[in-house]
A and B are shown apart, each in its own frame.
Chain A
Amino acid sequence: MSLLEVENLTKHFGGLTAVRELSFRVEEGMIMGLIGPNGAGKTTTFNMISGFILPSEGTVRFEGKVLNGMKPHEICALGLTRTFQIVQPFPEITALENVMIGAFVRYSNTTDAKRKAMETLERVGLAHRADSLAKDLPLLALKRLEIAKALATEPKMLLLDEVAAGLNSVEVEEVLDLVKELNDDGITFLLVEHVMKVVMSLSDRIVVLNFGEKIAEGTPQEVSRDPQVLKAYLGEEVFVA
């Protein structure tokens, strides 16, 4: 049994089909990349897996359990936590308190949640900003905070939506190193990325979407030689991994 199984996932928005009969599996311990040009249906897929929108058809299974119809907070409690493409901090409270919100799902006591949150901030290298209000943090710190919040829920699997977006290449490296370390600690990842370099260097396997359909799946090397993929990305100068 795979950790995450996506089967025939389909989403119609009125007459538009954002995702069509998408299937893939994520094995425990791996880093899976989900890529595709703008409008390929990546974020829609993500929102269906994490319970933010209902699929029109198809199923999502996590550890064999069907997730369809579950609320996001229930999915999070099962050990599958997502982050957002545009960082979503709780602006008027401190970084530590931001992370505590995530920790509370495992630790109902405030003291325990605070300890867990502090550990998590240390883990992502943000402990020195623990008492800063989230609204005062720069983007790189907010990206780390976004990961810390999700990490504090003690997930088996993390869904990261474009962690690299908006960061410069040095910052991207820093975030990628963090993902690698967390993966070494045993967390499975599904990365949605637009920046190809990010997924290519990091992922064990890659699924490529275009216009809502899967056009390729395989190792980064396989995918990058696939003619369909090259065609989908033609005109974009991203394929230099």
Chain B
Amino acid sequence: MRFARKPVVMAVILFGLLLLVPAFSGQYLIHIGVMVFLYAYLATAWNILGGYAGQHSLGHGLFLGIGAYTSTYLFVRLGLTPWLGMWVGGAIAAAAGWFIGYLCFRYGIKGPYFALVTIALAEAAVYVAANIQAIGGAGGLEVPWKGNDPLIMEFGSKAGYYYVALIFAFLGVVLALWIAKSRFGYYLVSVRENEDAAEALGVDTMKAKLQAATLSAFMTALGGTLYAQYFTYMNPHSVFGEGPSVQILLFAIIGGIGTVWGPFVGAVILVPIAELTRAYLTGSFAGADLLIYGLILVLVMLFMPRGILGALEPIWKRQRSEEVAK
């Protein structure tokens, strides 16, 4: 039990230190921090289904969009604070995740076929959203600015968003730590590694996959609300489109798929690179950030197919067993 708590202590210390950053840094660095934590959180959510359960969704933008649109719509129309609206979005996304999972897994759709189905559904959502005038159609939806009011998740300074995003990322990592050590997590891994063998050993593989899809979709939608509040604007392409869908999983894949810290590490490494190239090269070289993502992805896949942490894992495991041996 003591051993299981140690990584949690590590997480608390790390995130505790990160809380201090805004006191010492400028707006731009704080902005990068928000982006890192938001994407770390989203990639952690993706990793539950994609990394642990091995069901690679390429359409998580669908859940991001459901979260962003739902809380914003409720805020605009009913004045409901996004702090509450995000749970509604989460619930709708969870239902969608369960339903998509049920349809796919019930009919044995997995691997690349599952990925294709998720892409198709997210793409379909782009066009559905673009044709619903109540949510702004193709023009999108704006989050009205009501002044610095933490009760409606609106902050006068970037530091406010920084703290919220930090808490999201922290809770995501804590949940991932719990999953990695729990029966649920082991069951997800067994499904990924060998579904028939898992069934034979008493694992309800259908249930495990559905739980992963539901939880992953739910968490992604909560992140969608934060996304909406921070950028204050969304349109069908910016949330449902393939852009966010692909970015989310890139962080997980490059950082280390199926590891607790992989998505976080991926976001910490990639987001600043993207933000900086976007800031310095956009005028002369639009899309340079995407080019660099692609390059890094190719290199990582070539030399570290299990991601950065996946490549480091055997090394620290060996060290640990040597320590134990001593």
Contacts and interface: CB of A to CB of B under 8 A. Distances in A.
A101 B200 contact: no
B25 interface: no
B193 A90 contact: yes
Interface of B: 1, 4, 181-183, 186-187, 189-190, 193-194, 196-206, 317, 321
B197 A97 contact: no
Please classify the interface of chain B as helix (H, G, I), strand (E, B), loop, or mixed, using the class held by over half of its residues.
helix
Given A101-B198, A105-B202, A150-B201, A91 B183 contact: no
A77 B197 CA distance: 14
Contacts of A92: 193
A101 B189 CA distance: 9
A201 interface: no
Interface size class of A (residues with CB under 8 A): 20 to 34
A206 interface: no
15 contacts: A71-B199, A73-B202, A73-B204, A76-B202, A88-B194, A88-B200, A90-B190, A90-B197, A93-B189, A104-B187, A104-B203, A105-B201, A109-B183, A110-B4, A110-B186
Nearest to A111: B1
Contact of B183 (A52, A71, A108, A152): A108
B89 to A, nearest CB: 31
A110 B319 CA distance: 24
Given A111-B1, A131-B321, A102 B201 contact: yes
B200 A76 contact: yes
A131 B314 CA distance: 11
A205 interface: no
Nearest to A92: B193
A90 B189 contact: yes
Interface string A57-73: 00000000000000111
Contacts of B190: 90, 101
Contacts of A105: 201-203
A18 to B, nearest CB: 19
Given A97-B186, A108-B183, A91 B200 contact: no
Given A73-B203, A113-B186, 11 more contacts: A73-B204, A90-B197, A90-B198, A91-B194, A101-B187, A101-B190, A104-B203, A105-B201, A108-B183, A109-B183, A131-B317
A84 B1 CA distance: 34
Nearest to A91: B193
B202 A100 contact: no
Nearest to B4: A110
A212 interface: no
A82 B199 CA distance: 10
Nearest to A76: B202
A131 B203 CA distance: 22
A41 interface: no
A85 to B, nearest CB: 12
Nearest to A131: B321
A181 B197 CA distance: 24
Contact of B202 (A83, A88, A102): A102
A97 B205 CA distance: 17
Interface string A3-41: 000000000000000000000000000000000000000
Contacts of A89: 193-194, 197
A153 interface: yes
Contacts of B204: 71, 73
A90 B194 contact: yes
A76 B200 CA distance: 6
Most chain A CB atoms below 10 A, which of B4, B186, B198, B206 = B186
Contacts of B193: 89-93
B183 A149 contact: no
Interface string A131-152: 1000000000000000001101
A50 B190 CA distance: 19
A152 B199 CA distance: 14
Contacts of A82: 200
Nearest to A101: B190
Given A90-B189, A111-B1, A153 B202 contact: yes
B315 to A, nearest CB: 14
Nearest to B199: A72
A83 B190 CA distance: 15
Contacts of B187: 101, 104
B196 A104 contact: no
Given A90-B190, A113-B183, A81 B201 contact: yes
Contact of B200 (A81, A93, A131): A81
Given A90-B189, A93-B189, A93-B193, A76 B183 contact: no
B259 to A, nearest CB: 11
Nearest to B182: A110
A153 B201 contact: yes
B322 to A, nearest CB: 12
A156 to B, nearest CB: 13
